[in-house]
């Protein structure tokens, strides 16, 4: 929503002392790549070699990441060859509220002869389960779960099995492009909002020339218009699909509202005239879905369902409609849509902003629930259905949706969002539901009945910003070394089922926070490095328009500058790199749904290496966050790359030979290498 509100309501909660302590502890247990290659010998010596242990829910280690209730799940666990005497799966079954164990048996060795693989099967059922591994070598025991490795049995952080829960494949495999419509491209000058065209709350609209200041000359920044619209998005689909390589578009709100940001909805049934018409939206969707102008695309709309604007027909604070709104009459048919403490002037609102009255969702089957998602003519179902056929909803401020003036994040909030999911999936089972949340979104994603994924502030945007720029996403000073970056990523991945991780929206900037380019001090090489990580990490890469060329901008509204079409071309080095990276991601499923393995961290030289792999490809990514070049020695033996085999840097085209289990590559400052075989 609005940057200032987001910071106040979340308080950068993921940077608490307790979480930092957890990250530091994880850093100690996850110092992968630290062992010299010659130290890989293992035996039954009452000592479990932690550096050989690995499991995640990638395709080599879990045969059904999204099982049906009839599918048993066979898990594979990796150890050093000959190192252990037994391996056991211990899982909790919510069906009988009990723990169960499954003995694992040796299955095979890897191609290098370095590792053993052990297998065990959890029986099929409809109930949700959580599992961990007990690894034994004689008298020594290690425990392994999604949170990491420990010498004592963990009480949390287990892997998830949620039968019947799937997240959209197109979201797992796609690249998303976020657009703030007024600032992207003016495709139809006939619908431009002019200076003084209308006034709201004592201020009038201002028309600014493209590329000029986003700040009002003396009025309200939210009433500054530049003329970007849906026709402009449609006309630039070739750039989005083919130059950038994104196939998913997420639009900030497009429905009628007095502000430029449209989070103060006045009519859910109508596209704002400044952006075009409902017919324009249909045309855009049809052209985006077409494969004639690039790959088949998908459209997500911003669903602002926690509140309306005070100018909405249901509320009608300014008497804009002939029908009586809730603010005008207690006999209004919409009076029960809002929560009044003292009618008409005192009512529940979003974070105390009286322009944003909160919707009161009441009980199941209420008029508000039916209007937003329950009925066939509801907002949610209308745009998922013909003649529109959008592909998903991004839910704004969804944690706050509630009944009776309550502020969300409670049982009723989860009930509402579960009902909303049922409504969405009843129209299109493959539609995506993306929730907005700044912290751990586990409460909405780990039961399989609410969101598919969330905007990944906590598990991507913040750690990337701190590691690369030395600032948090609000622009405040905050810096972490590579080892803490790695453990932060590990800890936040463990918050979610794997299929949720794969559809988390990973962005460098958004309409609510300072631009990454700003935090990077305008250093385009830091944008290069961030793009390389973004396109090779777990989740859906999400490019906030202009981030592909390092657009700068401070806090709202400066983070919503107009797109520079002289810079945003294929001749720009950052844009070209973005296109190359999206093509690489599209070519290698391992970068989208493969395993993720940390390989090495070097805090002194600011280096980080990790692997993405599946049955077809093994890919090692080496990142250099220093300002000078470094030779990075990557322990690719952890990915079972055999000595004498060749790897290719997909960025430079250079070839390297695996020697003594490693590959050494010189990486420029604030850049990376993507080593594939």
Count of CA atoms in the C-beta half-sphere (13 A) of 228: 25
In Å, how far from its chain's centre is CA 251? 15
Active site residue 182: no
Angstrom distance (rounded) from CA 42 to CA 20: 33
Q: Is 262 exposed, middle or buried (0-12, 13-18, 19+ CB in 10 A)?
A: buried
- Catalytic residue, candidates 436, 512, 547, 614: 436
- Residue 57, SS3 per DSSP: coil
Active site residue 436: yes
- Residue 29, SS3 per DSSP: helix
- Catalytic residue, candidates 49, 93, 234, 396: 396
Angstrom distance (rounded) from CA 282 to CA 289: 11
Contact 196/216 with Cβ under 8 angstroms? no
Give DSSP secondary structure letters for 535-598: HHSSSEEEEETTGGGT----STTGGGPPP-TTTSSTTSHHHHHHHHHHHHHHH-THHHHSEEEE
Tokens, residue 79: 């150890």
Residues across the chain:
677
Tokens, residue 256: 């009628």
- What is the bridge-based pairing of β-strands 646-649 and 671-676? antiparallel
DSSP E strand boundaries for 304-348 = 340-342, 346-347
- Residue 656, SS3 per DSSP: strand
Residue keyed to tokens 């694992």? 104
Contact 135/144 with Cβ under 8 angstroms? yes
Q: Is 613 exposed, middle or buried (0-12, 13-18, 19+ CB in 10 A)?
A: buried
Active-site residues, by number, are 396, 436
């Amino acid at each position: 929503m609005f940057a200032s509100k987001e910071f106040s309501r979340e308080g950068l909660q993921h940077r608490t002392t307790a979480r930092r302590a957890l990250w530091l502890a994880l850093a100690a247990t996850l110092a992968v790549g630290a062992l010299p290659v010659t130290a890989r010998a293992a035996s039954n010596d009452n000592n479990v070699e932690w550096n050989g242990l690995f499991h995640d829910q990638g395709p080599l280690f879990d045969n059904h990441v999204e099982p049906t209730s009839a599918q048993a799940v066979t898990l594979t666990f990796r150890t050093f060859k000959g190192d252990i005497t037994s391996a056991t799966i211990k899982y909790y079954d919510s069906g009988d509220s009990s723990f169960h164990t499954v003995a694992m048996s040796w299955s095979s060795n890897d191609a290098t002869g370095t590792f053993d693989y052990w297998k065990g099967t959890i029986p099929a059922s409809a109930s949700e389960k959580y599992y961990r591994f007990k690894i034994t070598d004689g008298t020594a025991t290690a425990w392994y779960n999604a949170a990491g490795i420990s010498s004592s049995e963990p009480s949390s952080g287990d892997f998830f099995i949620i039968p019947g829960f799937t997240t959209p494949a197109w979201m797992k495999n796609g690249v998303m492009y976020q657009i703030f419509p007024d600032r992207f491209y003016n495709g139809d000058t006939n619908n431009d909002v002019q200076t003084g065209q209308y006034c709201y709350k004592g201020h009038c609209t201002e028309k600014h020339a493209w590329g000029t200041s986003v700040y009002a000359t003396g009025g309200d920044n939210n009433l500054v218009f530049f003329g970007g619209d849906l026709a402009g998005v449609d006309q630039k689909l070739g750039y989005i699909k083919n130059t950038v390589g994104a196939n998913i578009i997420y639009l900030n709100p497009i429905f009628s509202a007095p502000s430029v940001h449209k989070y103060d909805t006045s009519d859910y049934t109508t596209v704002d005239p400044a952006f075009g018409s409902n017919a324009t939206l249909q045309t855009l969707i049809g052209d985006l879905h077409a494969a004639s102008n690039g790959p088949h695309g998908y459209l997500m709309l911003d669903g602002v369902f926690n509140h309306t604007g005070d100018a909405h027909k249901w509320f009608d604070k300014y008497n804009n409609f002939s029908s009586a709104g809730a603010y005008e009459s207690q006999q209004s048919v919409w009076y029960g849509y809002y929560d009044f403490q003292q009618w008409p002037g005192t009512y529940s609102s979003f974070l105390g902003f009286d322009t944003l009255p909160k919707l009161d969702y009441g009980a199941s089957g209420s008029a508000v629930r039916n209007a937003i998602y329950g009925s066939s003519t509801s907002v949610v179902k209308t745009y998922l259905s013909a003649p529109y056929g959008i592909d998903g909803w991004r839910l704004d401020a969804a944690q706050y949706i509630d009944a009776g003036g309550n502020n969300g994040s409670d049982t009723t909030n989860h009930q509402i969002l579960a009902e909303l999911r049922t409504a969405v999936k009843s129209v299109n089972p493959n539609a995506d539901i993306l929730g907005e949340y700044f912290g751990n979104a586990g409460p909405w994603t780990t039961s399989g009945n609410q969101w598919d994924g969330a905007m990944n502030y906590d598990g991507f945007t913040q750690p990337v910003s701190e590691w690369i720029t030395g600032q948090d996403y609000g622009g405040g000073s905050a810096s972490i070394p590579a080892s803490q970056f790695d453990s932060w990523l590990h800890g936040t991945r463990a918050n979610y089922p794997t299929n949720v991780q794969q559809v988390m929206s990973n962005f460098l900037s958004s309409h609510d926070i300072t631009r990454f380019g700003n935090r990077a001090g305008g250093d385009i090489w830091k944008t290069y490095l961030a793009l390389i990580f973004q396109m090779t990490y777990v989740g859906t890469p999400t490019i906030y328009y202009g981030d592909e060329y390092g657009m700068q901008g401070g806090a709202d509204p400066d983070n919503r500058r107009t797109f520079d079409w002289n810079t945003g071309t294929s001749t720009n080095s950052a844009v070209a790199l973005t296109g190359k990276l999206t093509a690489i991601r599209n070519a290698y499923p391992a970068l989208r749904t493969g395993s993720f393995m940390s390989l090495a961290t070097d805090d002194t030289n600011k280096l980080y290496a990790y692997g993405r792999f599946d049955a077809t490809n093994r890919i090692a990514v080496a990142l250099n966050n220093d300002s000078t070049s470094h030779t990075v020695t990557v322990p690719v033996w952890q990915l079972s790359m055999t000595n004498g085999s060749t790897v290719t840097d997909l960025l430079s085209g250079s070839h390297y030979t695996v020697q003594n289990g490693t590959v050494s590559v010189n990486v420029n400052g604030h850049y990376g290498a993507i080593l594939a075989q």
